[in-house]
Chain A
Amino acid sequence: EAGVAQSPRYKIIEKRQSVAFWCNPISGHATLYWYQQILGQGPKLLIQFQNNGVVDDSQLPKDRFSAERLKGVDSTLKIQPAKLEDSAVYLCASSFTGTTYNEQFFGPGTRLTVL
């Protein structure tokens, strides 16, 4: 079975520019997570989708970050405008369902560098 796909793998931008990341979860997985992992820290949940609805976005900086999940499958995370402190790895993960335990599978991540 194909894993969670993310693109791009690396992105370098200047502050105040915009950037978008794409995630394709494992087929059939209803729950999709976006995490921010700053160097030396553990992943921090930014947003969680159940199908195409948002379950939790309490830690998403909504003044600059936005995310959507089209038709309950692929998802895009956007930052506009980027700040230096947004430099991090952005991880996407998916699981079959969020309502009971099911293993969470991670993608390879996108490393963002903001100059």
Chain B
Amino acid sequence: AQTVTQSQPEMSVQEAETVTLSCTYDTSESDYYLFWYKQPPSRQMILVIRQEAYKQQNATENRFSVNFQKAAKSFSLKISDSQLGDAAMYFCAYRSPRTYKYIFGTGTRLKVLA
């Protein structure tokens, strides 16, 4: 069975600085999708960025980028030029192309300090 682990329950970053959130996963599948979701205090979960495992190039979306290390089963999220609006819970998620099921980590609470 696949598992997703986020070892940082909480992280803090100064406004305009850069922060990296960690995620590791375990799977025996060779092809899959990985995601980072953001959940602000209002609870509506939104997609931040996704990575297809067959792609070697790391995904980037504006200030958000990932460091995908397939052999190490690591998928970290880097947020550059942090803004107050980035404060939220961030969840790493795995999606199997075989079962179509999403598996989420326990989340990292990001605080942005003014």
CB contacts under 8 Å to B, within A89-110, are 89, 91, 93, 98-101, 103-104, 106-109
Q: Report the bound CA distance from A17 to B102 in whole Å.
A: 30
Measured CB to CB, the nearest residue on chain B to A98 is B100
Pair B106/A40 contact, Cβ less than 8 Å: yes
Instruction: Count residues on chain B whose CB falls below 8 Å from chain A CBs.
Output: 24
* B100 proximity list for chain A (CB < 8 A): 31, 48, 55-56, 98-99
Pair A89/B107 contact, Cβ less than 8 Å: no
Using CB atoms and an 8 Å cutoff, list the residues of chain B in contact with chain A.
4, 6, 33, 42-47, 50, 52, 91, 93, 95, 97, 99-107
What are 24 inter-chain pairs, A to B, with CB distance below 8 A?
A: A31-B100, A33-B102, A42-B4, A42-B91, A42-B93, A42-B105, A42-B106, A42-B107, A43-B45, A43-B102, A45-B102, A45-B103, A55-B100, A56-B99, A56-B101, A89-B43, A91-B43, A91-B45, A98-B100, A101-B50, A103-B50, A106-B44, A108-B43, A109-B43
Using CB atoms and an 8 Å cutoff, list the residues of chain A in contact with chain B.
31, 33, 40-45, 48, 55-56, 89, 91, 93, 98-101, 103-104, 106-109, 111
